[in-house]
Structure 1
Amino acid sequence: MRLLWAVLQLVLPMPLKRRVGNWFFGWDVHPTAHIGRSMIMVGKLVMGPHSTIGSFNTIRGLEEVVLEEGASIATRNLITGFPPGSDYFAVSPNRRSVLVLRRHSMVTIGHTIDCADRVELGEYSAIAGYRCAILTHSLDLARDRFVAQPVVIGDRSAVMSGCTLLNGTSVPSRAIVSAGSVVTTKLTTELTFYRGNPAEPVRALPERLKYFRRGLVEVASEQ
């Protein structure tokens, strides 16, 4: 049934797609959200106001996908998970195969995201450019077992083209990871430009950088 539903998503108009998903599969898709011609096979999909999933994405095997208000997944992304109880991750019993995009965060074009464990993007953050890889699982060679750990990207941070983020890593709020870098640890210093393999701090960034202030002007104008 779910496979048939995934195929139907490629051809159904958005209003019908939303109704079927909400009624029969327990999704929670806001009337202003939009899903393009993508194949989505997940336990639950939550989409807030004006959130979008573009065309030609494959999103499968996750317990839950959450896009808060204004969050977006552009096009040609491969996002995969492992359902609970998988024998592959017996040594990581507390993992959750979920993807969370906070308000106005974005995944752009042609990225690969492994959601064996949680991947979370903070508000106004971005997996930018194209062909990044986020890996939440790896092979523990000492124990000969697969292990899974979350990957978290902080508010208003950007991971540029061709980066790799390994399991258990994080990017702090208001930080930039340069194109082609490999994140192998938890980066901790805000307002920092990181680069290299492994990614290391290169220089401080000014707080006034417009990217770090996304959304703040909108808030000020409403008050």
Structure 2
Amino acid sequence: MSRTVRGPLARRLHTLVWLLPASGVKNRLLRRFGHVIARDASLGSCVVLTLGHLHAGERALIAAGSFVRGIREMVLSDDAAVGPWNILTAHPAFQHEGENGVLWVGAHAVITSRHSIDCSGRVVLGAFSSVGGHGTQVLSHEVDFTGPVQTCADIEIGDHSFVGTRCTVLSGARLPDRSVLAAGSLLRRGPDEGAGLYTGSPARRKQALDGAWFHRPVGQTRSLCDRSGQVLHGAF
């Protein structure tokens, strides 16, 4: 069972520990606050004001420089990665329901860098999926103008799917498994149109897609090729 960090002194100490560079000592200290962290997880120096519970699996990574506030539960599955300079937040007003305030990053899934993810509802990034490029906004709460009230809903990015740079993903949206949300698109809740390329504002399915990327056995795409399509030695 998770244990929330309570009391002003404990919260300050918790924030200070998160400012330390990645190390086994840092992992052990964070376990003292009730987090579940694999021995080979790497948790870089981040500004973490409030984080109720972290479960970091084998080889999970949080790179240095991210900002975390208000998240009740964060799960990084084995080989999941959160890159630098991301903003990960949730509003505590929605956390009276147990499924809210959650960020779940599946096995081998990647959030690259400089994205803003609102986890006031529940945000799920499926296994082997990526939020790529930079500048994408994921917003799991919204204003219901008929209320008028603010509401939240789950957002799900399916397995082996890709969200391109500078996209907007709104409350209640779902990108199907093995799909791509093209750069600059807006995804909102709607009927599931099946796997494929989604583009536009609002995004609509344009065509079917397939390729080795959607079936790869590892997470981040590190191979390089030249302009002729020849695969180069080395990795990104």
**Fold-level match, TM-score > 0.5?**
yes
Give the secondary structure class of the aligned counterpart of 2:132: strand
Taking every aligned residue pair, what percent have the same amino acid on both sides? 30
Q: Which residue of 2 aligns with 1:21?
A: 30
Q: Please say if 1:11 is aligned against 2:20.
A: yes
2:172 to 168, 171, 176: 168
Residue identity opposite 2:159 in structure 1: D
How far did residue 190 of structure 1 move? 3.8
Larger mean CA deviation between 14-23 and 187-196 belongs to 187-196
How far did residue 67 of structure 1 move? 0.3
Between the aligned partners of 2:97 and 2:17, the Cα distance in structure 1 is 34
Q: Which residue of 1 aligns with 2:128?
A: 124
Give the secondary structure class of the aligned counterpart of 1:64: strand
Between the aligned partners of 1:146 and 1:157, the Cα distance in structure 2 is 29
- Does the aligned pair in 2 maintain the 1:95–1:148 contact within 8 Å? no
Q: Which residue of 2 aligns with 1:195?
A: 199
Between the aligned partners of 1:186 and 1:173, the Cα distance in structure 2 is 15
Q: Which residue of 1 aligns with 2:46?
A: 38
- Does the aligned pair in 1 maintain the 2:140–2:154 contact within 8 Å? yes
- Does the aligned pair in 1 maintain the 2:22–2:45 contact within 8 Å? no
- Does the aligned pair in 2 maintain the 1:171–1:186 contact within 8 Å? no
Q: Which residue of 1 aligns with 2:110?
A: 106
| Structure with the higher strand share, 1 or 2 | 1
2:188 to 184, 188, 193: 184
Between the aligned partners of 1:143 and 1:199, the Cα distance in structure 2 is 26
Residue identity opposite 2:181 in structure 1: V
Give the secondary structure class of the aligned counterpart of 1:63: strand
Q: Please say if 1:157 is aligned against 2:165.
A: no
How far did residue 81 of structure 1 move? 1.1
Q: Which residue of 2 aligns with 1:210?
A: 212
User: Structure 1 34/186 Cα, relative in aligned 2: closer, same or farther at 3 Å?
Assistant: farther
How far did residue 93 of structure 1 move? 4.4
1:53 to 42, 46, 62: 62
Between the aligned partners of 2:160 and 2:26, the Cα distance in structure 1 is 31
- Does the aligned pair in 2 maintain the 1:52–1:73 contact within 8 Å? yes
User: Structure 1 32/94 Cα, relative in aligned 2: closer, same or farther at 3 Å?
Assistant: closer
How far did residue 9 of structure 1 move? 2.1
Between the aligned partners of 2:196 and 2:66, the Cα distance in structure 1 is 31
Residue identity opposite 1:134 in structure 2: V
Q: Which residue of 2 aligns with 1:115?
A: 119
Between the aligned partners of 1:107 and 1:114, the Cα distance in structure 2 is 13
Q: Which runs of 5 or more residues in structure 1 are unaligned?
A: 217-223
How far did residue 20 of structure 1 move? 1.2
Write out per-residue CA displacement over residues 74-100 of structure 1, whole angstroms, 9 at most, x where no aligned residue: 0100000123xx2xx49x846511000
Q: Which runs of 5 or more residues in structure 2 are unaligned?
A: 1-9, 219-236
How far did residue 11 of structure 1 move? 2.6
Between the aligned partners of 1:205 and 1:107, the Cα distance in structure 2 is 22
- Does the aligned pair in 1 maintain the 2:21–2:43 contact within 8 Å? no
How far did residue 14 of structure 1 move? 1.6
